[in-house]
Structure 1
Amino acid sequence: MFPLRLRGLRFQPNGRTVLDGVDLELGDEGITLLLGPNGAGKSVLLRTLCGLVEPSGGAIDWGGGARPDFGVTMVFQHPMVLRASVLENVAVALKPRGVARRERARRAAAVLARVGLGGREGDSARHLSGGEKQRLALARAWITAPKLLLLDEPTASLDPSATAEVERIVREIRTDGTRILMATHNLGQATRLGDDVVFMSAGRVREHAPVQRFFARPASEEARLFIQGELPWRLTF
């Protein structure tokens, strides 16, 4: 599905422009951080790539073909948790792929151990803390071995300790060969995790650069002001 190319991607619900001709190309390796003020279109872009939003125009080229049936997974800021055990919340991700029940349970237990939830398999997922639920969501994504993982501010509601644990898991998923595109407002997180940065504003990609160059020498005044915390957030509804 790589290189993933977006050309003139638009989303204009009820005449309101949310994505305004997004152009972007992503290779098959690394962690790309989506940065930008509120209302820039970051979350909508992720939902478009995940297939949850139908674009109004433009094109998405998945390595020369159509969007694959499997291989693209998204984790949200507030993850969905089923009324079931921790193990079942993870194993369910393999059910559409026809994996046998016993094998689903085995793989789920293995990935839960990797996210620090080993020994919690039989607990109710509803009783997990916020950070544990986010780790559960990452485990559910990881078990499918996605080629592209989309993360929408997965640590926005977490304390520093829980954030550090999520960042560790994200790095391990990347090491396993998954391409990651992650939206965040945490600039420190971007410098810790990112290989490159996509800076968005008003529904467009304004800059795409390696993380160190972006923070040291932003190409636009808008990006410079954003880094300094001076850029007004765009609240458009």
Structure 2
Amino acid sequence: MNGSTTPLLTLRGLSRSIGARRLFEVGELVFPRATAIVLTGQNGAGKTTLLRMVAGLEPAPGATVHWTGENAAARSAPLDPLPRELRERIAYLHQHPYLFRTSVRENIAYGLHARGLPQQEITRRVDEALAWAGVAHLQDTAPERLSGGEVQRVALARAKVLEPELMLLDEPTSSLDGQAREQVIALVRELAAEGRTVVMICHDRDLINLPGVVRWKLGDGILDTHHR
């Protein structure tokens, strides 16, 4: 699952404190290309906060982000606010995804409409995403009629359809069991195989033990990116 040795992103100076307590401090965090990563650690260690900072959903004062822009130019900027060039390259999936009160198809198409893509392109991409997630038969269904596993698959399709390079998933299988869990694990495996970088907050042994997965562990304020 590993790709080019040129990092997708490098973040520096990530830290978060709660009152006088330092939750974590990460001097440098490198996101490799085309890699599946599981982020583990005790509850309260700051895993969700860390990924939300990377996605631009939490303040990240003092942190910087470094990446390769067009024409292989080295770029850098403050992480907060997330640079416009990176917004379309990063997708964040909440542990309990929120779906808009419309159809499954319109939920998946939402981000593409927001980007102003032509309708023909939107239709093509949404059709492909519906088929990929195995929810084409639910495309006209209202979200409140979906099972937990179906909601998770629709949310994955809604993120994938935007074609991000970095996908950040918060406990994608935590509320699932049986076939629903197996279906989501299969989709996560495919995302990594496509060449995306996928970072998952995870306690699911089957996800952690997927072939080629890199393990990161956050604990005692330190992020170990070489955890075994």
TM range (shorter): 0.7 to 0.9
After TM superposition, the structure 1 stretch with the greater mean CA deviation from structure 2, 179-188 or 60-69, is: 60-69
Residues 193 and 78 of structure 1: CA distance in aligned 2, closer, same or farther (over 3 Å): farther
Q: Deviations over 1:205-228 (max 9, x none)?
A: 13424xxxx1xxxxxxxxxxxxxx
Corresponding position of 2:3:
none
SS in 2 for 1:161: helix
* Percentage of pairs with the same residue: 35
**Which one-letter code corresponds to 1:19 in the other structure?**
F
The residue aligned with 1:57 is 62
The Cα of 1:167 is off from its aligned counterpart by 1.1
Q: Find the residue that maps to 1:9 and give its secondary structure.
A: strand
User: Are 1:43 and 2:61 counterparts?
Assistant: no
5 Å-filtered alignment, 1:1-237, equals 2-63=7-68, 64-65=74-75, 66=77, 67=83, 68-192=86-210, 195-209=213-227, 214=228
TM-score after normalising by structure 1 = 0.81
* CA distance in structure 1 between the aligned counterparts of 2:38 and 2:223, rounded to whole angstroms: 12
8 Å contact from structure 1 (residues 146, 178) kept in 2: yes
Structure 2 residues without counterparts, runs of 5 or longer: 1-5, 69-73, 78-82
Residue 103 of structure 1, CA deviation:
3.2
The one-letter amino acid of 1:41's match is G
Q: Which SS does the other structure have where 1:146 is aligned?
A: coil
C-alpha distance 156-116 of structure 1, shift in aligned 2 (>3 A) = same
Normalising by the residue count of structure 2, what TM-score does the alignment of the two structures yield? 0.84
- Structure 2 contact 7–30 (Cα < 8 Å) conserved: no
Supply the AA of the counterpart residue of 1:101. Q
Q: Which amino acid is the alignment partner of residue 27 of structure 1?
A: P
Counterpart AA for 2:203: H
Q: For the aligned residues, what is the CA RMSD?
A: 2.0
**Which structure features the higher share of strand residues?**
2
SS in 1 for 2:64: strand
* Alignment partners' CA distance in 2, 1:39 and 1:78: 17
Aligned residues: 210
Does the C-alpha gap of structure 1 residues 55 and 194 become closer, same or farther in structure 2, counting only changes over 3 Å? Answer: farther
